[in-house]
Amino acid sequence: MLERMNQALDHLESGLDGEVDMAEVARIAAVSEYHFRRLFSALAGMPLPVYVRRRRMTLAGAEVLAGEATLLDVAVRYGYGSGEAFARAFRSVHGIGPGEARRTGAVLTAQPRMSFRVVVEGRTAMRYRIVGKEPFRVVGRKARVPLVHEGVNEAAAAHVESLDAQAIARMKGLAGRDPEGILSAVVHLTDSREEGAVVDYWVGVATGPEAVVEELDVLDVPAGTWAVFDTRGPYPSALQELWRDVFTQWFPSNPYASRPGPELLLTRPVEVGADTDAQLWIPVERGGDGAGA
């Protein structure tokens, strides 16, 4: 799969001086556009649109400094309909406008061309199973929090602390669907998995699709397939490492792609640093062959 990802990036690179057809890029990678964007963000550490903008401005920067084309010609070449829009994008990457950069011969910032390769670490065996589920609901309370890749997510912890005993008792009374028990659910609002990206964070239980609870929030989850990973280790680092490894190691080497849907985590509350068992549910669908990538 990584070979196909690199072929897709080659195609993307060839279209930087025009409009990039992301659907075609994803087709070359043999995955959905949704999965390509999510996988790229996890592997590269930045959203795909940010990478495209930085690469475009790297190439545009070289042309600006060369001085052979007008600034408007450079802007149009790289897909900007006006000099103002081009100047904003240029400044967001280089910290200086294109006109000033050309006049002063300023030092610019380059985004290197990316490629992906396999790094064999052999740290952990990833235990997983594939589960098909009928439609269900997550019933509980939600909050909007930033992603935190390492350490305690203070905003998520504050949301958990804010739950009153009555709400928790109501949730427990509704539990009964797999994954059974109080769980957390993360709904990504964008393709980005960068540190600080905002997500909807739910604390609740899985119930039948007919459950109606006026005093709690309801998240409808359609039928689909899930990859379920089991792990044990110190909280929260083992869980954060598992989440990262699923996207950077498991997906590139297995014939599945991520699909839209909440990512579910079932764990027992423990002190920070204490070992705990956890179960991570990731919505998936059959993708490319994944083997030998």
pLDDT of residue 289: 44
Above 50 in pLDDT, residue 258?
Answer: yes
pLDDT of residue 101: 92
Both tokens of residue 276?
Answer: 């705990």
Between helices 33-44 and 22-29, what is the axis angle to 10°?
Answer: 80
Residue 268: how many other CB atoms lie within 10 Å: 11
Of 26-40, 48-62, 122-136, the least confident:
122-136
Domain 128-286 adopts which CATH fold? Multidrug-efflux Transporter 1 Regulator Bmrr; Chain A (3.20.80)
Question: Which part of the chain is CATH 3.20.80.10?
Answer: 128-286
Cβ neighbours of residue 107 closer than 8 Å, sequence gap 6 or more:
none
Question: Which part of the chain is CATH 1.10.10.60?
Answer: 2-104
CA separation for the pair 126, 139 (Å, rounded): 29
The overall average pLDDT reported for the chain is 87
Peptide bond into 236 cis (omega under 30): yes
Query: Hey, what CATH class is 2-104 in?
Result: mainly alpha
List pLDDT tens digits, range 264-291. 999 876 677 788 888 999 999 987 544 3
